[in-house]
Amino acid sequence: METKPRLLTILDGVTIILLAVATALVFFFTPIEAVMGNVQKVFYFHVANAWVGMLGFMASAIAGIAYLRTGKRSWDIVGMASVEISVVFLLIAIVTGSIWARPVWNTWWTWDPRLTTAAIMELIYAAYLLLRQGIEDPDRRARFGAVYAILGFISVPLTFLSIRIFRTIHPVVIGNADPSAQGSFDMSPAMLRTFMFSLLVFSFIFADLLWHRIRLGHLADKVEQLKLKVTQ
């Protein structure tokens, strides 16, 4: 196993500092929303987590296309890494959304178009992780993963646009919300700055984790190949 690149160590440090700054901004810089109170502060990281989820699924679809074109195993590792990270972050987005919804909508969960499409998207990619494990041949597994990631990506724009094309109670952050949306609020400049900064910080977190997960994937690949060699 190669030693950890210096750039990755720097990225680790920068990411931790940025996350600390973003957290401080959320708790000490942004005002308390006049109606919802403190629970509105969940919004900054809730959206950022969902952003990482969708970013990773997009990355896996791109990696899938690259794998099918080139046949390079490293693209399969990138795709797998992206999906795993995004499943984790989308899960956080769904759970934090549910926590926000309890005092605002007076329910933990409702089959609203956004919540439903997000849950379906999460299940599609959780199934990707499970189904991959059932295929032993690495090349077949990689081909399956690539095709699945490309097809699964259909759920991403559908989820993103669901609050814009369907009648929904979910607030729209950028653009006009449906008149039936509950929990919408006007962002003050401090809120907007913190929100945009949180998106940037979580993009750094994604890049950092992706790099670590890709390295782990290469290591697992090496172990798998050596295992085959030793057992033959």
Partner 1 sequence: MFFLQQGPAQTTNYMIAGYTVIFGVILFYVLSLFLRNRNLKRDLETLQELDNKTNV
Q: Which of 100/148 has CB closer to partner 1?
A: 100
Using rule CB under 8 A, residue 33 touches partner 1 = yes
Taking residue 96's Cβ as centre, other Cβ atoms within 10 Å add up to 18
Tokens of 144: 């399956």
Q: Which of 42/66 has CB closer to partner 1?
A: 42
Using rule CB under 8 A, residue 213 touches partner 1 = yes
Estimate the crossing angle of helix 42-70 against helix 189-231, to 10 degrees: 40
28 three-state secondary structure: helix
Alpha carbon distance 22, 99 (integer Å): 20
Please select the residue that binds partner 1; options are 18, 22, 47, 49, rule is CB under 8 A.
49
Contacting residues for 114 by C-beta, under 8 A, at least 6 apart: 159, 162, 163, 168, 170
Please select the residue that binds partner 1; options are 57, 75, 100, 195, rule is CB under 8 A.
100
Q: Which of 176/231 has CB closer to partner 1?
A: 231
Residues of this chain that interact with partner 1 (CB under 8 A) are 1, 32-42, 45-46, 49, 85, 88, 91-92, 95-96, 99-100, 102-106, 182, 205, 209, 212-213, 215-216, 219-220, 222-223, 226-227, 229-230
